[in-house]
Structure formats: structure tokens, C-alpha cells
Amino acid sequence: MLLRLRSSPSATDLEVLERVARERGYGVRFLDRRRTVVELERESARAQPGDRVAFEDLAFVAGVLDASDAPELAERTPGREDTILRAGEAAFGGPFVSLAAGPCAVEDEECLLEIARAVRAAGATLLRGGAFKPRTSPYSFQGSGREGLERLARVGAEVGLAIVTEVLDPRDVEAVARVAEVLQVGARNMSNFALLAEVAKSGKTVLLKRGQAATAREFLLAAEHVLARGNARVILCERGVRGFDTVTRNVLDVGTIAHLKRVTHLPVVVDPSHAAGRAELVPPLARAGLAAGADGLIIEVHPRPHEARSDGAQAVSPAVFAEIARAAAALARLDGRRLVVGRGAPEPAAKAGEGVHP
Ligand code: PEP
Ligand code: MN
């Protein structure tokens, strides 16, 4: 059984909690640094009738989370508003739509700087770029590692963009969290629970990508692993799931975007790049994601895609990214929402006839 406390327990709260737990045969273990999420473990596996109520009745307990398989913390309870998460100048959820953009992988610094300047001017508020790359083949470029993180930090500071970058290994979480406002957990790691525990501990915003063949429920339960450890800052990212057809790299699951917006209060963003696999399909998929209710986009951008060491085929040019940003602003307005752009960046305004054709 898990307990969520209203705030960090006082010495008296702790005494009471330990006494009630002891009387009922439970050991107490805190799961987060702020000591607001408590795991109650007992040797004989099943809770006794009355256990739940005994803990629920304590004034400092906000709620008892069953050891069930429901994503209780991610769930949108009746009347619950969207959670709004801010990272740097970006804001996701509620009335806010934001854009993250950048190369698939961090490569040379000059090119990263060129991309960062272009995407910020077009309306992005987060710079993406993988320093640690999960590659299907061990012989592909694996990323520039810690050196890549330093490049991201320098470029982000120079241009005024917060960083979102992937972390693959629990041992790198601290180093990545020093540089990034948003830690990306990639599709291949959605169910890496040790990694989820570690990113939760960092207290940073977590961009959790949907596993390549994960159901919506499995996706929400993966988010629950972060939430249950006291980190409420989770953004879900739909990036396409495995399909049978090869015309796209993955199948962008627009239905699940709409579904998630109904069943969870967490922000949902869309990565049309990894769904499309081809640059020309990225703008229409980006628009489809936003139309289905997504709170933002994460897009791969490269000025010379043929030079990119990973995912060049799906990288859009800065000019196409600017078009997507204009469409995003228009779609957000249509829904009574607003595209958030960086301070000093112009509000993207659609040109006549733009955004109609793929
Ligand atoms: C990425 O964002 O570069 C990436 C590897 O994405 P995914 O985990 O969705 O494949
Ligand atoms: Mn990529």
C-alpha cells in the first residue's frame, strides 16, 4: 500500500504513522526526498480489512493508493483541471501549447547553435537533442555523451532555450539533470522502472515517451511510477506505435492522444518526427496531433539533413519548422489556447494559404 501525505511529516506525524503501521504489521519506507510518499510493506502479503481506513483517517494522510493496477495519480478525477507544467519559458497543459525542436542527436556545436537560433526565432521554447542515443544497431552513432551535454548547455544558455534531452542510464541522471530542465525517457525505456525511479528523484520534468508497442494503460502506469515517487512533473509523449505498413516509420496514434486528454490531467505532447520517419509527413502529423488535443510538439530539425548522423530523413528544415509553428499557433487559437513563444520572439502568424496542404 502507498500513502500520499499532505506535506513532509512533522516528528509527531511520523511517530503516529509508525505506531499505526506497527500495530497493523507494516514497515514504513519513504519513496521520495520530500518524504511525502510512503510505502507500507508487510510480510503477509494481503492487507487486512480496516487497514486502508486506519491510514486514511490520519489527518496528515492525503490519500491511500491501493496496491492495485490503476494509474491513480495520473487519472483525471471528475472536475480535475489540466496540470500545467512549465520548463524554462515553455508551458504545457491547460491553455498553453509549447514547441520543442532541435536535431535528433547533438553533433557539432556550430550546427546546434544555428538550429537553436532558428527554432527559437520561429517559436520554440525548448531545445531538443540527444547526447545519449538509443540506437537499434550497436554499430550506429551512439551519441556524443557528456561532451554533448556540455554543448547543449552552452548553446541553450547562449540562445535562451531550456533543454530537453534523453537519459538512458540511471547513472547519468544527475549529469543530465544539471543541464536539462526536461529529462526525456525514450520509447525503448518506457518500462525501465529503475530509470523511472531515478528520473523521479531528480525532481525535474520528465518527458515520457510511449513504448513502441505499449497500450495507453501501460503508458499511464509507467507515468505512475514517476508520480508515485513524489514527482508530479510528467509530460506524456505520443511518438507512434509499431504498425504493419512501412509507409510511415510508426503509426501516429491520434486516437490515443484524444483518449489520454480525457483520462489524465497530465500534459500530452506529440512527436510527429519519429511517427512519420519522413520529413514531408511531419507537418500534417504535427497538425493532426494538435487537433486531437495535444499540448505541444517535439520536432526534429536540421538545416542539412543529409549531414545528420541520425534520423536525417525525418528532419525538417528550419523554414518548415517555422511553418509548423505558424500552424500550431493557429490551431491553438482555434481551441481557445495559446502558443507560448520565447521572450522577444515574434508570435507566429500564418501566411495566406499556408498549412492547408501537406
Ligand atoms: C528521440 O527522440 O530521438 C528518440 C530516440 O525517440 P524515441 O524514444 O521516441 O524513439
Ligand atoms: Mn531521432
pLDDT at 351: 72
Report the separation in Å between the CA atom of 306 and the middle of ligand 2, taken as the mean of its atom positions: 14
> 15-26 pLDDT, tens per residue?
999 999 999 999
Quick check: 287 pLDDT over 90?
yes
What pLDDT is stored for residue 52 in this prediction?
Answer: 86
Evaluate: CB of 204 within 6 angstroms of ligand 1.
no
C-beta neighbour count of 68 within 10 angstroms: 8
Predicted local distance difference test score (pLDDT) of residue 176:
98
pLDDT at 230 exceeding the cut of 70: yes
In angstroms, the CA 200 to CA 56 distance is: 25
Task: Check if 209 has its Cβ closer than 6 Å to any atom of ligand 1.
Answer: yes
Cβ pair 39, 29 in contact under 8 A = yes
The pLDDT, as a whole number, for residue 358 is: 47
Nearest CA to ligand 1 atom 4: 186
Give me the mean pLDDT over the 62-86 stretch.
86
Q: Which residue has the higher pLDDT, 49 or 195?
A: 195
Ligand 1 within 6 A of CB of 134: yes
101 lines ligand 1 (CB under 6 A): no
What pLDDT is stored for residue 354 in this prediction?
Answer: 65
CB of 161 within 6 A of ligand 1: the answer is no
Ligand 2 centre distance from Cα of residue 324 (Å): 18
Q: Determine what percent of the chain is predicted with pLDDT higher than 70.
A: 96
Average pLDDT value for the chain = 94
Find the 305 Cα to ligand 2 centroid distance in Å.
12
The percentage of residues in the chain with a pLDDT greater than 90, rounded to a whole number, is 81
**Any residues with CB less than 8 A from the CB of 310 and at least 6 apart, and which?**
104, 105, 130, 133, 135, 140, 141
Ligand 1 pocket, residue 274 CB under 6 Å: yes
pLDDT in tens, 206-220: 999 999 999 999 999
Q: For the residues 294-301, what does the mean pLDDT come to? A: 98
Record the cell numbers describing residue 20, joined without a space. Answer: 499505526
Give the pLDDT score at 352.
64
Which residue lies with its CA nearest to atom 1 of ligand 1? 104
CA of 299 to the centre of ligand 2 (A): 9
Listed residue (317, 319, 318) closest to 306, CA to CA: 317
Backbone CA torsion sign across 334, 340, 263, 5: negative
